[in-house]
Amino acid sequence: MDISNYLYLSAILFTIGAVGVVVRRNAIVVFMCVELMLNAANLAFVTFSRINGDLVGQVASFFTMVVAACEVVVGLAIIVTMYRSRRSASVDDASLLKR
Amino acid sequence: MTTSSNLVYLIALPLFSSAILLLLGRIADKWGHIVATLVSASTFVMAALEFVSMRQRTGDARAVHQDLFTWISVGTFNVHASLLLDQLSICFVLLISGVGTLIHIYSIAYMSHDHDRRRFFAFLNLFVAAMLLLVLGDSYLNLYVGWEGVGLASYLLIGFWNQKPAYAVAAKKAFVANRIGDVGLSLAIMIAFAQFGTVSFTGVAAGVPHASSAALTALGAMLLLAAAGKSAQFPLQSWLGDAMAGPTPVSALIHAATMVTAGVYLITRSNFVFDASPTAQTMVLIVGGITLLFGALVGTAKDDIKKALAASTMSQIGYMILATGLGPVGYAFAIMHLLTHGFFKAGMFLGAGSVMHGMNDEVNMRRYGAIGKVMPITAVTFGLGYLAIIGVPPFAGFYSKDKIIETAFNAGGTKGILVGGAALLGAAITAFYMTRVIVLTFTGTKRWDDEAHPHESPSLMWIPMVVLAIGSVASGFLFNSGHALVNWLAPVVNASGEHDAKEFLAPLTVSLLALGVVAIGVAIAILKYRSNVAVEAPEDVSILTKIVRRDLLQDDFNDRVLVRPGQALTRFFVSMDNNFIDGIVRGVGGVIAVSSTNLRKIQNGYVRSYALIMVIGVLALIATIWMVTL
Amino acid sequence: MHSLFAQSLQAGSTATPEAVQFWILAPLAVLAALGMLLVKKAVHSALLLAWVMITLAILYIAQGALFLGIVQVVVYTGAVMMLFLFILMLVGVDSSDSLIENIKGQRPAAISAAIGIVGLLLSLISRATLNHPATGIDAINANGNVQGLANELFTKYVWAFEVVSALLITAALGSMVLAHSQKPRNRTSQRDQSIARFRGESLAHAAGLPGSGVYALHNAVDVPALGPDGQPSQASISKVLEARGDMIASKPFELTEIEEEEK
């Protein structure tokens, strides 16, 4: 089996995540889709690391995880705040920008 | 050439006075006319002194030159604002300031009831200043300034009573017609600059022998166009009749004695151009010949005394233009006729003004009649002018007009016969219509209402008339005695050695011939208008009469051929501007507005839409990478 | 076009057990990811995501990233997903769970873009080249994966490591600030509710909302009551039930039936 199959998997997962971000309305689901995209990117990093025979990819993946953790914390806090103010977790309800 | 530092005062003084009168406004109402008249008189005194001192000098020293300042200095092109007073200019300066002063005096009385007399005198002084600049400028460009100045003054004075729309229209008409001529003059200046690199008279004269005949013909034609515009010559003649809308002193000064003769001055001043270009000279002859007959014919049908005199002016200037077209021998006679005409026509206009003054501004001669009895001085002075214009010896017109007819015949060949014949015919018609004016106005039975109380005008009015009448009587004889004027002008117009041209007819024969046709004209007029003159112009007249009454269809022609197509073209351009140009502008705006309205829908406030656009952007980015790595 | 990468992958191709593992796990991960998009309830999405993450953790370990695999399970599947579920509990069921699209053209555009991206990415990966043979991870993991990573992190990447730690602290503080509310939402007292009923927009519900199941087919909490006009009253049941779809529709009472019976 080719190692590149991991990369194909990564691309497919990434795209599914992107579609989820665009299609789903629940802010939490949108957020989970973002996580899916990050994970897909991590898989690519790990695979690159293996192909290149060094640990740079894994280090990058590690940092991605840390940053993703930060992002989840802040993002979920924002969702909670949003929900508190408008009793809804729908991203479509936060459409004040058009006015 | 003598240098002087006094010439500028000739122009500066009336200009200053005009500015004072205009700027001070109503404050100057009480004394404005006196200041203006004194300034004009002092101009005449200065001119007379210059004339006397010029007489004492001889040869080239007679011309006086004054350099004021460098006006334009661009590379090799230098124009100095400088003045030149030579034998030709001094004739004009004396005429302008002399007749101008008389008319200033006349106007004091004539305009005494007018609310705006001060403004009138301011404009008169402005005119005097501009006209003096015109004849004193030593280059075409300096002349052009004066040329435009008199055009402005003429416009302002024709439209002096601009509260009447017809008068304002007449002023505009005169201005537009003059403008066409002005374009000619500016083109002439450009041609001169392109050909000779200079626009001064001496510079152009020096360059003429080296120039191509085509350039000289073009230059001459443009100068002729300018002259035609200013002097109401065919085909730009239509404005002069309407210009009679101005106060009568204006008609006398500007539209009879001085401004309208500027064209004659221009052609005489440019004699070196026309002498070098036979084609241009022939064009001058044709224009002069047509105009002299045209004006005379129009004059026969006019019932308005001022318009009859205006037509006569046009015709007489036609004589002058004709004379200038006859080459070196003609210039002096053109100027002589110009000067005598300045006297008798101004005198007659003042007489007409006097009659109108006494008749409550009635201008229709059919409502005059028998005025000679109540206004004897006016009648006598007018009569002397009349004798002068029809060319009865020894009055002024006899000498000047006779010389022109004689020179015309002497031009030789078919040209001589055609031109001389036209001049002779013109003399006959002149005699007819001037006699008609005299008979209708001063003799016969009274046809005016009893409300009108014709009375002799005050002395301020009749004194100038008397002075001008004396001029009408004596000037011709004075100018002609011992070829005084011809010899005086000879250095300017290069007339030396041209006197021995072959004579077609003996001078005496010409004189007798001319007197004969004049007598016929006078006789026909007396027989026709001696009695039974209808107060209203008869309507059952031949088609020819109707055409002549309509000024030989000059306005109809202009209207059909120039004005209407011009208006149509303008309307076309306006609609082009409204529909096409504005359409493009509005179209661009509309397209942007519509597309932004549609584009705005993208901005719907939904985060997911923005994310989708981002995804599409990513797609585009990947597609780009995909393609460049292909 | 035979790429260098293709050659290198032969050198770095995997052993059969790994291939078997991959071909079992990868389709499952893709299916789970697709399921995330398709299921209606957020909780289900979260569970499917947890599954994808565990799958990925296994794949990490299979690729010699032992440390990352463990972290993936502990941090992501453990901590982060717990956080997600916690927030889900907090926010509750909501109309945003609905799968009905209300932005015109959003779905077709998203799906076309996704197909384009997947196609292009796969095509790009398939013809990507490497200018050296694939080396494999085993050599570098000889002294242990964790030791190797630690070596990198605390020498070469120590500055980035410190910055990231600062970022973590900032994020923690930030989320505290965001989530903290000075004044918790006031519980409306009975008195307030009473005032709202009588001084509100209408007196329709002054006597309280209709109880569920009244005059309806069943006397249950998930059955809307029938109003005086015979129509089901939506105000009689909890909104949460309606949003969850756990509601039994009441049939409107037809007055004509009675009239016919009377005849």
For chain B, the domains span 281-549, 558-628
Q: State the smallest CA–CA distance between residue C113 and chain B in angstroms.
A: 6
* Sign of the CA dihedral with B323 first, then B324, B330, and B335 last: positive
Neighbour subunits, C (≥3 Cβ pairs < 8 A): A, B
Q: What is the mean pLDDT of chain B?
A: 86
Does the pTM of the predicted model rise above 0.90? no
The Cα B126–Cα B154 span in angstroms is 10
The Cα C151–Cα B98 span in angstroms is 118
Question: Does residue C181 sit within a domain?
Answer: no
- Residue B626 at interface with chain A, using a CB cutoff of 8 Å: no
Residue C67 and residue C94 share a domain? yes
How high is the pLDDT of residue B570?
A: 92
Question: Does residue C183 sit within a domain?
Answer: no
Q: Which CATH class is domain A4-88?
A: mainly alpha
* Sign of the CA dihedral with B274 first, then B278, B280, and B284 last: positive
Among C52, C68, C137, the residue with its CB nearest the CB of A62 is C68
Question: Does residue C72 sit within a domain?
Answer: yes
Q: What is the pLDDT of residues C202-229, one digit of tens each?
A: 777 777 777 887 877 777 888 888 877 7
DSSP state at residue C13: P
- Ranges of chain B with pLDDT below 70: 450, 495-504
DSSP state at residue A89: -
- Residue predicted with more confidence, C95 or B62: B62
SS3 B67: strand
CB of B243 within 8 A of CB of B255?
yes
- Residue B620 at interface with chain A, using a CB cutoff of 8 Å: no
Q: State the smallest CA–CA distance between residue B588 and chain C in angstroms.
A: 30
Among A22, A92, A98, the residue with its CB nearest the CB of B615 is A22
Residue C7 banded pLDDT, cuts 50, 70, 90: very low
How high is the pLDDT of residue C8?
A: 41
How high is the pLDDT of residue C11?
A: 40
The Cα B293–Cα B424 span in angstroms is 10
How high is the pLDDT of residue C162?
A: 94
Q: What is the mean pLDDT of chain C?
A: 82
Q: State the smallest CA–CA distance between residue B616 and chain C in angstroms.
A: 6
> Chain B residues with CB inside 8 Å of A88's CB?
none
Largest CA distance in chain B: 116
Residue with tokens 């109402």: B29
How high is the pLDDT of residue C185?
A: 63
- Residue B73 at interface with chain C, using a CB cutoff of 8 Å: no
Any idea of the CA torsion for B304, B305, B306, B309, to the nearest 10 degrees? 120
Residue C137 and residue C9 share a domain? yes
Task: Determine whether the interchain pair B612/C120 forms a contact, defined as Cβ–Cβ distance below 8 Å.
Answer: no
CB of B590 within 8 A of CB of C92?
no
Among A51, A69, A79, the residue with its CB nearest the CB of C75 is A69
Question: Does residue C29 sit within a domain?
Answer: yes
**Residue B325 structure tokens:** 């077209």
SS3 B501: coil
Residue to substitute from B599, B601, B607, interface A, most A β-carbons within 10 A: B607
Among C19, C128, C130, the residue with its CB nearest the CB of A1 is C19
Q: State the smallest CA–CA distance between residue B617 and chain A in angstroms.
A: 12
**Angle at which helices B607-628 and A4-23 cross, to 10°:** 150
For residue B208, CA distances in Å to B87, B220, B272, B444 come to 22, 11, 7, 57
Residues in Cβ contact with B591 at an 8 Å cutoff, skipping those fewer than 6 apart:
none
How high is the pLDDT of residue B501?
A: 54
Question: Does residue C221 sit within a domain?
Answer: yes
Task: Determine whether the interchain pair C103/B604 forms a contact, defined as Cβ–Cβ distance below 8 Å.
Answer: yes
How high is the pLDDT of residue B148?
A: 92
Task: Determine whether the interchain pair C171/A74 forms a contact, defined as Cβ–Cβ distance below 8 Å.
Answer: yes
Residue C128 and residue C211 share a domain? no
Among C80, C90, C140, the residue with its CB nearest the CB of A72 is C80
Residues of B numbered 587-606 whose beta carbons fall under 8 angstroms of chain A's beta carbons: which are they? 603-606
Residue C208 and residue C166 share a domain? no
Q: What is the pLDDT of residues A71-99, one digit of tens each?
A: 999 998 988 888 888 778 888 877 777 65
Task: Determine whether the interchain pair B603/A97 forms a contact, defined as Cβ–Cβ distance below 8 Å.
Answer: yes
Residue C211 and residue C124 share a domain? no
The Cα B200–Cα B213 span in angstroms is 20
How high is the pLDDT of residue C160?
A: 93
The Cα B359–Cα B348 span in angstroms is 16
Residue C153 and residue C127 share a domain? no
Backbone angles phi, psi at B626, to 5 degrees: -55, -40
The Cα C103–Cα B613 span in angstroms is 13
Residue C155 and residue C84 share a domain? no
ipTM of the complex in this document: 0.92
Nearest CA in chain C to B615: C113
The amino acid that residue B259 corresponds to is M
The Cα B415–Cα B412 span in angstroms is 6
Q: What is the mean pLDDT of chain A?
A: 89
- Residue A82 at interface with chain B, using a CB cutoff of 8 Å: no
DSSP codes of every residue in B191-210: HHHHHHS--BHHHHHHHGGG
How high is the pLDDT of residue C96?
A: 61
Neighbour subunits, A (≥3 Cβ pairs < 8 A): B, C
Residue C220 and residue C154 share a domain? no
Domain containing C254: what range? 192-262
Q: Is the pLDDT of residue C12 over 70?
A: no
DSSP state at residue A90: B
Residue C150 and residue C135 share a domain? no
Contacts within 8 Å (CB) and 24+ apart, C163-172:
C164/A63, C164/A66, C164/A67, C167/A66, C167/A67, C167/A70, C168/A66, C168/A69, C168/A70, C170/A70, C171/A69, C171/A70, C171/A71, C171/A73, C171/A74, C172/A73
Nearest to A1 by CA among B137, C96, C59: C59
CB of C13 within 8 A of CB of C139?
no
Q: State the smallest CA–CA distance between residue A19 and chain B in angstroms.
A: 8
- Which H or E run contains B383? helix B376-390
Percentage of chain B exceeding pLDDT 70: 98
Q: Is the peptide bond between C228 and the residue preceding it cis, with omega within 30 degrees of 0? A: no
Task: Determine whether the interchain pair B612/C106 forms a contact, defined as Cβ–Cβ distance below 8 Å.
Answer: yes
- Cα B83 to the chain's mean position, in Å? 22
Question: Does residue C185 sit within a domain?
Answer: no
Q: Where are the domains of chain A?
A: 4-88
Among A15, A24, A84, the residue with its CB nearest the CB of C114 is A15
Q: State the smallest CA–CA distance between residue B620 and chain C in angstroms.
A: 9
Question: Does residue C186 sit within a domain?
Answer: no
Task: Determine whether the interchain pair A96/B605 forms a contact, defined as Cβ–Cβ distance below 8 Å.
Answer: yes
Q: What is the pLDDT of residues B75-98, one digit of tens each?
A: 888 888 888 888 888 889 999 999
Among C106, C113, C120, the residue with its CB nearest the CB of B609 is C106
| C153-163 mean pLDDT | 93
Q: What is the pLDDT of residues B142-152, one digit of tens each?
A: 999 999 999 99
The Cα A21–Cα A41 span in angstroms is 16
Residue C66 and residue C170 share a domain? no
- Residue B113 at interface with chain C, using a CB cutoff of 8 Å: no
Nearest CA in chain A to B601: A98
Q: Is the pLDDT of residue C261 over 70?
A: no
The Cα C227–Cα B303 span in angstroms is 105
Question: Does residue C222 sit within a domain?
Answer: yes
Residue to substitute from B606, B618, B626, interface C, most C β-carbons within 10 A: B626
Residue C112 banded pLDDT, cuts 50, 70, 90: very high
- Which H or E run contains B128? helix B117-136
Q: Is the pLDDT of residue C4 over 60?
A: no
Nearest CA in chain A to B613: A22
Residue C245 and residue C136 share a domain? no
